[in-house]
Structure 1
Amino acid sequence: MAHNNLPKNHASLVVHGEDRSGIVAAVASVLAKHGANIVSLDQHSEDPEGGAFFQRTVMHVPDLTAAMPALTAHLEAVVGDELGLEWRLRDLSTPLRVAILASKSDHCLLDLLWRQRRGELPISVPMVISNHTDVAEDVRFFGIPFFHIPTPAGGDRTEAEAEIVKLLADNTDLVVLARYMQILSGSFLKEVGVPVINIHHSFLPAFIGAGPYKRAKERGVKLIGSTAHYVTEDLDEGPIIEQDVVRVSHEESLAELVRRGADVERQVLARAVLWHCEDRVIRNGNRTIVF
């Protein structure tokens, strides 16, 4: 679909590194010299004396495309070289390419596709990959290519992962696991080379791994939740982007917990994808700063 609602001539600038005096002034000075008008600015310092500094700026630049090369070079000279900070600049009128990996469950997958079609997510979806064919027709209804790559139960997944990497290569800026239910290897994450976001159906760090609703029911919890996080080699241990919960009681059956949890999963994953694609999330070790 056409993303007519994306802001034209708007860019985001994310800066982070060791805090020191003069960062905000230096960044603002560079932007002003290229005719940028700051629309919004968020910043956070963990400690003004040697702590970490984080900043997200959204700006309007007349004829952004023409201004990008010179603006990029100037930012590298001042922010990168002089201040020694990490930074990234992105044209917000260009949607990120988000590939989705799914399994049999369709609620998170279809919610993302529906939001993308309505223009609620600033993304394009080049493909959906699944280890089952249950969601194939639903995906094709949205006009999105569907690829079936089965994974052997309990066996070596190297070949399947290699096929997925080939499909994703140069075609995606983000991978989303919409209840994919497969553990990805460290080599896969390295070869894909883009961030991977997962939705886990519990309020981490509680109930890591498989069967969290069943374990929540057995434990008699009064809250169930969901967590969207970046994927690392450690199962369900990556930096958390977003979480939410819903109150439950002893009266709910396991099936009811699953049904109510699915609503939370959809909302949490959608918010995490939106925030990532708007450059609102900055990773800091195993934590995130979300503006």
Structure 2
Amino acid sequence: MNTLIVHTSQQPLSLLPALIKAAEQLSDQIDLLYIGPQPDIKHILGVDTLYHYHHEELAYASNKTIANLIQKHSAYTHILAHADTHGKDFLPYYCGQQRLPMLSDICQINSQNQFTRPIYAGEALETITHHGEQLIMTLRGIYFEPSDRKTQPKIQSIGTYESNPPTQIKAPLLQDTSDPSLADIVISGGRGLGSKENFQQIIELAKHNNAGVGASRAAVDAGYISNDHQVGQTGRIIAPKIYLCFGISGAIQHLSGMRDSKIIIAIDKNPQAPIFKVADYGFSGDLFTALEAIKNYKIS
């Protein structure tokens, strides 16, 4: 048994140790295919071999390009990626290209071929048994503790790309605001903010607290912020120490993306909003009054 982890510079590097921990439950041989600039070595301790593709045209590689690189290193019993918007984009593309099945959103490894994942927006858990020769899956890294495996990787640095030219994305995918996947504190806004201009108050509060910026799907659909910040079933699955949300009623799809947060604080004008059923602390009232009251305080 051997495992390949696929990771790009567009994904949270801090979650790699959790993926390595998951891979430990599958095999003794753990290798990493990393696409992008040089990663911090502390995050990749524990892998045996690092295949590092760092050609400048791979900085924002497309799904097609990533799939082609995976194909070069496909002789593994298990291929893993983090279940964020990127991993759930390029890995299904690879599987479709190769006509292979894939498991998604795995949160628990029961054995080398049996796994658990949430379904129905996290309201139930499903156990899956896979009998194929090769197993390809995305994992929710927040459910796995960081690995304490200290193997120093053998590095194969690959600075060329055998394509003319590789398919690529020319611009960064994230705005200047903080990535909610990386933050201990996430401050989110919903449709209740009413406009893109009002949503700027969420961004300013997040900057003041060095926090990540999240949003509901309704806020993203309304154009208040890009979908890179969407939290929920079709966005990012996060588990920060503190999740503070304004004007989010708490649709089940949103709750599935943040319900594992350590402390949930909700502000919404509707006292019957579903968000209050999962919140540790709640305030039913005008969200702008709440924003004004806490804008100069540090959240900790």
Q: Same fold (TM over 0.5)?
A: no
Task: Give the structure-1-normalised TM-score.
Answer: 0.34
In the superposition, the TM-score normalised over structure 2's length comes to 0.33
- More helix as a share of residues: 1
